[in-house]
Every structure is written in structure tokens, then in C-alpha cells.
Chains A and B, each alone.
Chain A
């Protein structure tokens, strides 16, 4: 599968994204995607469509909380699915640009 990535592993052509590419990126991040991951990936993509940028951690948490409730809208839950740097990893797997202000 030929898809182009930048040196941090973010997909260059956003329109080239599909579920296979997401699986491929996730594997390179040592993440095995399940339904819980997909739910967050879909939300990150919806955030991007609505707001035209990738979410940093705080807006991602708040957005997930708003859409899926308190059980999932918290950093611990997101960290359990996407360890270390959830906002960055979700965007990467979702085929979105690197969040601009990720600390």
C-alpha cells in the first residue's frame, strides 16, 4: 500500500486515508485497533470536518465528553487507548495533520 507520510508519520494526503491505512499507521504505533479506538478516531475526524484543524488534548477530551459522555470524555480513558500522547496519536491514525499546539 503506497501512502506518503511526513517524517513524524503523519499522512501527507488527507484524502488518501482509509481504514486499511489507519490500521497500518496504528500498527507502527504498536496499537491494535478495536471498536473503542474507532469510536474516537471517527470523532477526531468529525472535529476536523467541523473545525478545520486537528484537536489538541483539551478540546478532544471536551468533544468526546460532549458526544460520548463522562465515562469516555476524560484523559485517562483516552490515554488507555492511545498511550503517551493521545491527541497526537489519534490525529495520526485518523489521517489528520499534527495538532498545531500539542505541548
Chain B
């Protein structure tokens, strides 16, 4: 099975794709998105997370959020594996545009082309954007 296809093998499942595209510490949208992913994971339905645009900055290692008295998004994101949130994707061109590489990121991710992202979106029942 392609990794872009969520595991819908169980009955009564509904897959959700979270698209996280907000810059990490301007406003609270990024935090809301991450909290929504963590909350959704409790229901044990298939879910995927796609970081695009400025959202890829959320994945940058070594965030010093305490200096601006904010909750550290890196601390929250680094718990994804403990929630079995393992379908994490990043838009390849967003990453390149910011001169970031996957080893700058705090989670293991799969990078996707535009076509890969279109397939990912098409394969999920619901798409939520933060």
C-alpha cells in the first residue's frame, strides 16, 4: 500500500489530513493546529499531517520559545511518535524555498512533490487546515 494512502482497513474509520501552514509563533494558529492533531489522535482514526509554506518552520530543531514566553512547539511536536502519529509529510518546495533540509527538522518526515500532495489530499476523507 502506498504510504500516501491512510489505513482504512478497519470498518467505520474516517481519515483526516491536517495541513499545518502557519508560522510558528506569530499568533496561536500553529499551536491550535498541533493541539488539534494531538486531540484527534486519541480517537485512533487514521490521520496524516502535512507541513507546507511557513508551517515547515514549526519543525525546525532548537526552538527557543521560552525567550518569548511561548509554549515550545518543538516540545509538543516531538511527542508525535509517542501518540503513534507517524504519517508526517512536508512539502518539498517549501523546504527548499527556506533552504532547510530534513536533518534540520525535529521529526522524521516524508517530503512530497506537488503531485504527491495532491494524491495525499485526495486520499483522506477530511482535510483541516491550520
Contact = CB atoms under 8 A, between A and B. Distances in A.
A101 B84 CA distance: 15
Given A50-B79, A55-B79, 11 more contacts: A50-B75, A51-B75, A51-B76, A51-B82, A52-B72, A53-B38, A55-B82, A56-B42, A58-B83, A59-B82, A62-B84
Nearest to B72: A52
A10 interface: no
Interface residues of A, number: 15
Interface of A: 47, 50-53, 55-56, 58-59, 62-63, 66, 100-101, 103
B125 interface: no
B76 A53 contact: yes
Contacts of B76: 51-53
20 contacts: A50-B75, A50-B78, A51-B78, A51-B82, A52-B76, A53-B38, A53-B76, A55-B79, A55-B82, A58-B41, A58-B42, A58-B82, A58-B83, A58-B84, A59-B82, A59-B83, A62-B84, A63-B82, A66-B82, A100-B39
B79 A53 contact: yes
Given A52-B72, A52-B76, A53-B76, A101 B82 contact: no
B82 A103 contact: no
A50 B72 CA distance: 10
B32 interface: no
Interface of B: 35, 38-39, 41-42, 71-72, 75-76, 78-79, 82-84
Contacts of A56: 42, 83
Nearest to A58: B83
Nearest to A51: B79
Nearest to B82: A59
Nearest to B78: A51
B82 A62 contact: yes
Given A59-B79, A63-B82, A52 B71 contact: yes
A63 B71 CA distance: 21
| The 9 residue pairs across chains A and B that have the minimum distance between CB atoms | A59-B82, A52-B75, A51-B79, A101-B42, A101-B39, A62-B82, A51-B75, A59-B83, A63-B82
